[in-house]
Amino acid sequence: MPLTMDKAALDAFLVEQFPQVAEEFVIDAVEENALKLRLVVSERHLRPGGTVSGPAMFGLADVGVYLAILAMIGPRALAVTTNCSIDFLRKPAAERDLLAEVRLLKLGRLLATGDVLLHSVGRDAPVARATLTYAIPPA
């Protein structure tokens, strides 16, 4: 299945549907069943101890899978997360953006599952790994 939405279309969708957070995310690459999304880390994403918070990392993984699905099926704003499992592996660098490498494992008519590795930009070791399942509304 070819891409339905490219980077420009996904950027526009984020600004239109989620203006409250659109500036926090930068789409670095979009491919068939894959996407790279960056969280522009700021003070609001940090927790005590000077590290990126778990909710910020979850948000990056969640938005990454959401956008990867929309890239394939088109702009369906009402696709929703139905399940998430996240493993926090190591402390992310507070002074670096976080990068989500997303790949869709399954894209069905009603459900999609994606796998995400999160890295501090410039570092190889992942800071978290997540698997998310989304419910896709009928077209």
**CATH for 96:** 3.10.129.10
pLDDT at 106: 98
Please provide the size of the chain in residues. 139
Is 99 part of a structural domain of the chain? yes
Q: Look at the chain and report how many structural domains it folds into.
A: 1
Domain around 32:
7-135
Residue 50 lies in a domain: yes
Q: Taken in order 134, 135, 137, 139, is the CA torsion positive or negative?
A: positive
User: Pairing state of beta strands 111-120 and 25-31?
Assistant: unpaired
Per-residue pLDDT, 68: 98
Judge contact between 136 and 120, C-beta under 8 A.
Answer: no
Rounded-to-integer distance, Cα 42 and Cα 52, Å: 9
Q: Is residue 1 part of a domain?
A: no
Q: Per the domain annotation, does 79 fall within a domain?
A: yes
Q: Is residue 21 part of a domain?
A: yes
Residue 2 inside a domain? The answer is: no
pLDDT the model gives residue 93: 85
Counting beta carbons within 10 angstroms of the beta carbon of residue 64, is it exposed (0 to 12), middle (13 to 18) or buried (19 or more)? Answer: buried
- pTM for the whole structure: 0.96
Mean pLDDT by 10 residues, the chain (139 residues): 94 96 97 98 92 96 98 95 97 93 97 97 95 94
pLDDT at 38: 98
Contacts of 48 (CB under 8 A, 6+ apart): none
Q: What is the per-residue pLDDT for 49?
A: 86
> Would 107 be classed as within a structural domain?
yes
